[in-house]
Amino acid sequence: QAGGRRWQVAATGFWQTHRAAAQTLVAAVGPHVAGADSWWDLYCGVGLFAGSLAADGQPVTGVEGDRRAARLARRNLRDLPNVRIEAADVGPWVAAHGSSRSATDQPDVIVLDPPRRGAGRAVVTGLTQTTATKLVYVACDPAALGRDVGYLREDGWTVAAVTGCDLFPVTHHVEAVAVLSR
């Protein structure tokens, strides 16, 4: 349970192992999507952020490359008609949708929660083609976050805040939530 919802996750799928981790991340990301007209949840997994933070009627598009996780996200969020889940690799999806100038396709805010390797240059380049003015990057690897923030800064984004979340006490692992704007 997290974000006021129950989540179904595949036994071999990804979910934070610390029982309070998902709720901690929802609390860290939530204030940054509040008030957005629409937003994207990239690398959405089973729909944690989209399902926990989508306001009534606020359009949210979640994109997940793992087909099983995308199916579970659709199932987990079937009661939220304003949330659409796309089963697609994030890089090509962002490349195809990032340059769309249709107001209905463009987000105000992007939540990005990539795997440990980070988003990488291709995804970041696609994000800079959107009209989003805020990016909330959830990272489990500080080096990947640093690399991707470097790309984002080259493309005109500035770091507004970075919050560390110690979800794995007594280890060297620290999750970070970075907020960037342009």
In the structure encoding, which two tokens stand for residue 92, read together? 């090509």
Q: Judge contact between 42 and 111, C-beta under 8 A.
A: yes
Q: Give 35's contacts (C-beta < 8 A, 6+ positions apart).
A: none
Query: Catalytic residue at 44?
Result: no
Q: Judge contact between 14 and 21, C-beta under 8 A.
A: no
Beta bridge pairs of residue 68: none
In the structure encoding, which two tokens stand for residue 4, read together? 């006021």
Residue from 140, 152, 178, 180 carrying the catalytic annotation: 140
Assign 145 to helix, strand or coil.
Answer: helix
What is the C-alpha to C-alpha distance for residues 62 and 54, in angstroms, rounded to an integer? Answer: 11
What is the C-alpha to C-alpha distance for residues 50 and 40, in angstroms, rounded to an integer? Answer: 8
Mind telling me the catalytic residues?
140
